[in-house]
Amino acid sequence: MPWKVDSVVSQRLELVKLVATQQLGVAELARRFGVSRKTVYKWMARQVDGEGDLSNRSRRPRGSPHQTDRAIEQRVLELRDAHPAWGGRKLRAVLTREGLRSPAASTITEILRRHGKLDPESAAKHRAFQRFEREAPNELWQMDFKGHIPLTAGGRCHPLTVLDDHSRYSIGLVACDNERGETVSTSLKKMFQRFGMPGQMLMDNGSPWGNDRENPWTSLTVWLLKLGVRVSHGRPYHPQTQGKAERFHRTLNAELLSTRAFRDIDDCQSQFDPWREVYNFHRPHEALSMGVPGDRYQPSTRAFPDQFVKWESAPDDQVRKVQQEGRVDFRGKTWHVSKAFRGEQVFLRPTNIDGKWEVWFGPQCLGQLNERDESTRRVVRRGD
């Protein structure tokens, strides 16, 4: 199903924020968002002059010397009501951004506890863990489906999530009515056109981007490789590999999915869009020192290509076409690669070990084959 267009305010805000990163020019971002440069400058001027509330931020004054403790406490409760899953540290960061003299996070927590806004059992579940992240935006995007949710009009919604590893920026939150590869590629194409191309994407081993550990390739992952995007699959039964995506799903469930009812796919998308705006530009993130993902994210300078990347073989490469059953003939033997590569060319590249060859498709090493090992006739992935 086509990706429903973001709300006007969300789209304008996101465009202005991306222009501010100075990673891409106004002309390029205007093209990706489908508007004129004149329109972009108009939205930028409105935000600078305060004539348009593009970001839906609070209109409370930044400074208020006569603010009373009672008023601050009331603001804490207002924010908590608007965002029931936010704790003391996040609320303190928001108050500080609003220019208020915020009490300590522990004091805010006491305010929430005094007004019956805390669930002790829920708070006890959260534990700190060691974090790893890529050094720059768009080096790696994590992609997954959040568990499907029922719709009151019948059927189910399958939320597709794509997250930038470095910034935790939500690249896409798409309401889908299935989990087929064609649905994912249609949504990804829209993201690529708007945000540019990532260097690599990480996903689990399930459909539609994986089959199993020995043969993870699908038509969707082959499509990504042909676009020049490397593909990684998480370790089976080890969700920590995609820890940021898992954490994003917990937040999405706590702040939106578990608190709302959804009529149909369009209703889902209409509620996903404003929540994604809050997540990217307003919600303080503890892993970002209470900053927001929008402060760290920049769009990719590599634009979505008009055609697939053409890869040239190295001088010592042996080029083979993958046959109908996903096999290649090499040195008088037949080797299984994957049916997903049927009709495509792969490069067999010699290694420093006699008889061992790496099998490459575009930017990706698919694995190795060993001429001297008669026990297996398949391309073995690294780590197998």
What pLDDT does residue 70 have? Answer: 82
- The alpha carbon torsion through 276, 281, 287, 291 (nearest 10 deg) reads -170
Interval 44-70: pLDDT, tens: 887 766 555 554 445 455 554 544 478
What pLDDT does residue 88 have? Answer: 80
Interval 143-158: pLDDT, tens: 999 989 999 999 999 9
Q: Residues with Cβ < 8 Å from 93, sequence gap 6 or more?
A: 284, 290
Residue 73 pLDDT > 80? yes
Return d(Cα 61, Cα 100) in angstroms, integer: 9
List the one residue out of 292, 290, 284 whose CA is nearest residue 17. Answer: 292
CB 190 within 8 A of CB 220: no
What pLDDT does residue 299 have? Answer: 95
> pLDDT higher for 233 or 281?
281
Interval 318-357: pLDDT, tens: 999 999 889 999 988 899 999 999 999 999 999 888 889 9
Question: What percentage of the chain reaches a pLDDT higher than 90?
Answer: 46
Q: What average pLDDT does the segment 127-150 reach? A: 81
Q: What global pTM score does this model have?
A: 0.75
Interval 7-47: pLDDT, tens: 677 888 888 889 888 888 989 998 998 889 998 888 888 77
What pLDDT does residue 2 have? Answer: 38
Q: What average pLDDT does the segment 282-286 reach? A: 89
Q: What average pLDDT does the segment 121-131 reach? A: 46
| Residue 3 binned pLDDT confidence (cut-offs 50, 70, 90) | very low
What pLDDT does residue 53 have? Answer: 55
Interval 101-111: pLDDT, tens: 788 877 888 78
What pLDDT does residue 4 have? Answer: 42
What pLDDT does residue 236 have? Answer: 61
Per-residue H/E/C for the chain: CCCCCCCHHHHHHHHHHHHHCCCCCHHHHHHHHCCCHHHHHHHHHHHHHCCCCCCCCCCCCCCCCCCCHHHHHHHHHHHHHHCCCCCHHHHHHHHHHCCCCCCCHHHHHHHHHHCCCCCHHHHHCCCCCCCCCCCCCCCCEEEEECCCEECCCCCEEEEEEEEECCCCCEEEEEEECCCCHHHHHHHHHHHHHHHCCCCEEEECCCCCCCCCCCCCCCHHHHHHHHCCCEEEECCCCCHHHHHHHHHHHHHHHHHCHHHCCCCCHHHHHHHHHHHHHHHHHCCCEHHHCCECHHHHCCCCCCCCCCCCCCCCCCCCCEEEECCCCCEEEECCEEEECCHHHCCCEEEEEECCCCCEEEEEECCEEEEEEECCCCCCCECECCCC
